[in-house]
A and B are shown apart, each in its own frame.
Chain A
Amino acid sequence: QKEVEQNSGPLSVPEGAIASLNCTYSDRVSQSFFWYRQYSGKSPELIMSIYSNGDKEDGRFTAQLNKASQYVSLLIRDSQPSDSATYLCAVPGGFKTIFGAGTRLFVKA
């Protein structure tokens, strides 16, 4: 049974700080990894995808992948109150994507 593990939080950071969200996965052959953001009462939206080891940056977001350790993380720099949401790690495989339980992030103004 493939698993994706996330700390459910809540993770609370002050405005302007770096928020660090972590995810581990069990399937060693996984090749692609996604981070989704879900605001309360809304649907998940894709914010980052990463396919190879190392870092991928997009604006204030950086995804980090370490396939040897089966670990993927999301860093949010200069966190804003509008970043307060649940962040879901997702690992697809064979037309079935396994989502983590999500980490709730609160950014305090």
Chain B
Amino acid sequence: ELKVEQNPLFLSMQEGKNYTIYCNYSTTSDRLYWYRQDPGKSLESLFVLLSNGAVKQEGRLMASLDTKARLSTLHITAAVHDLSATYFCAVDTVGILTFGTGTRLQVTL
């Protein structure tokens, strides 16, 4: 059974500082997704990582994938309040999507 672990579960960030969220998974997978969810809203796609060594960046967020270590990271550069949300990673194996527990980010001044 595929397990996907995210840590931390909660992250209180100071504006302007850098942080990293980790996503570990237990078996080989086809691809890895990162999503953002604001309270009461649906999921917004951030990144799709398709292969080992993949790195994608959008604004202050950068995601990377190491398939050998079964690890993906979501790096936040110079946090701003707009980034406050819950972030999920999800691993896709032959069409079955398994989500991590989610990391709730709160950015404070």
Q: Do A and B come from one complex?
A: no
Q: Chain B interface (Cβ within 8 Å of chain A)?
A: none
